[in-house]
Chains A and B, each alone.
Chain A
Amino acid sequence: MKILYCNCTYAKVVPKDVKQDVLRQLSDSGRAFDAVADLCDMSARKDPALKKIADGGCTKIVACYPRAVKWLFHAAGTPLPDEGIDVLNMRVDSAEHVVKELLV
């Protein structure tokens, strides 16, 4: 299971303390991961890096609303597979909850 963390760099919509806490615990966890500055920005640019994430099998994506993440990938021409993708929402869930789901 791969991990993708979105830092939502270009807007303040994800609570800062939540994203910092999640990143810190992920960083300390000894787990491999990819971290991107801003999935929205990558989608706008149709960044080819999204394709390797979409094609790469089971992935936990730590970002925001699953519906937003799904259609951002689609908008970039790299739709996520129907199975094997788990989106964790830092906009509404606590860091504790996200990390628990992420590092199980």
Chain B
Amino acid sequence: MSRTEGRNLRVILYEGPGSTPLDDGDRYQVLSSLLDNGFEVTRPVAGQEVAPPDDAPVLVLGLLDGEPLVAEDHEVHFRDLAQVNALDAAREVRKATGARTLDAWKPWFPVIDFDRCTNCMQCLTFCLFDVYGVDTEQKITVQNQDNCKTDCPACSRVCPEVAILFPKYAKGPINGDEVRDQDIQREAMKVDISTLLGGDLYGSLRTRQSEARKRFSTERDESKALLERKRCLGKLKKELDIPDEVLMTLPSADDIEERAARARTKLAKRQARSQTVKDARPAPSEAEWGI
């Protein structure tokens, strides 16, 4: 199962009829340990609303000393907190129900602000990891969230509209903070990465990499070669917060041209298809796609 699939176990922290209410301290401890370990918890209170049930399996936890008033029209498990530890019980029921087990991952992926996005496709062309795609209406979409490289916000830097968010990024407006006038000045946001290395980034990287390789083969000094490569990329990393791993796999000029050609072929096919469908919305022009 991929990290972005599966249903979660829903834990109900129950204190209604058929149970003894928890102490404030105990309730908080149970809540925080479950949340810190990736569980979703609902605390219902008579006469107040919570999210309705769905088809996710449910675990009812509480000091259960009678018949809890819980609808059992779907998969429900009961565990008494006088007998079991909340986290152990949640883990046990999660396993038994086949609910999603969480490996530690930082949900790091781009989120598009469609109030700002102009569908220019620059992010799609830039990202080498197939994070972006287009939907059936030919609108940009984030299709492979778990392909995204953790802590790399590079595509948000190439978006001319400041439309790409990474909610877990440290700084605004990429973290979702309001976009201010100074952010919109494109030169400030849209980083021309080639200038950081004084001109042709890809050429420069290639030259330095091949120099490093040469040195490696003549001097047999791996650490020196790596050091050289690191030094060359250090400036980029600092300016853009881009991890080394991603810098090492930045697309070459040839890669970009190849991807653009593929996108153009796809577009041509779509345009041909849309002409055969009456009343179909015209496919976007090449200029609109920005390729």
Query: With a CB–CB cut-off of 8 A, which chain A residues contact B230?
Result: none
Assembly CA distance A31 to B175 (angstroms): 30
A52–B52 CB distance below 8 A: yes
A64–B24 CB distance below 8 A: no
Assembly CA distance A40 to B102 (angstroms): 14
Query: With a CB–CB cut-off of 8 A, which chain B residues contact A40?
Result: 107, 109, 167-168
> Is B70 positioned at the interface, with any CB of A under 8 Å from its CB?
no
**Which B residue's beta carbon lies closest to that of A91?**
B175
**Which A residue's beta carbon lies closest to that of B179?**
A67
A49–B45 CB distance below 8 A: no
> Is B6 positioned at the interface, with any CB of A under 8 Å from its CB?
yes
Known A23-B32, A68-B111; judge A9-B38 contact (CB<8 A).
yes
Assembly CA distance A60 to B31 (angstroms): 19
Assembly CA distance A53 to B40 (angstroms): 13
> Is A13 positioned at the interface, with any CB of B under 8 Å from its CB?
yes
A45–B113 CB distance below 8 A: no
Known A27-B27, A75-B142; judge A67-B178 contact (CB<8 A).
yes
Number of interface residues of B (CB under 8 A): 54
Known A13-B170, A23-B32; judge A56-B40 contact (CB<8 A).
no
B111–A71 CB distance below 8 A: yes
B176–A34 CB distance below 8 A: no
> Is B106 positioned at the interface, with any CB of A under 8 Å from its CB?
yes
Query: With a CB–CB cut-off of 8 A, which chain A residues contact B109?
Result: 40, 44
CB distance from B110 to the nearest CB of A (A): 9
Assembly CA distance A28 to B140 (angstroms): 44
Known A44-B145, A49-B8; judge A11-B168 contact (CB<8 A).
yes
> Is B229 positioned at the interface, with any CB of A under 8 Å from its CB?
no
CB distance from A9 to the nearest CB of B (A): 6
- Interface 0/1 of B39-71, CB less than 8 Å to A: 111111100111110111000000000000000
A56–B51 CB distance below 8 A: yes
A2–B49 CB distance below 8 A: yes
**Which B residue's beta carbon lies closest to that of A35?**
B41
A24–B28 CB distance below 8 A: yes
A35–B31 CB distance below 8 A: yes
Assembly CA distance A67 to B235 (angstroms): 31
CB distance from B209 to the nearest CB of A (A): 33
A48–B55 CB distance below 8 A: yes
> Which A17-74 residues sit within 8 Å CB-CB of chain B?
20, 23-24, 27-28, 30-38, 40-49, 51-53, 56-57, 64-69, 71-72, 74
Q: List 6 A-B contacts (CB under 8 A).
A: A27-B27, A35-B40, A47-B7, A48-B54, A65-B172, A65-B177
Residues of A within 8 A of B (CB): 1-2, 4, 7, 9-11, 13, 20, 23-24, 27-28, 30-38, 40-49, 51-53, 56-57, 64-69, 71-72, 74-75, 91
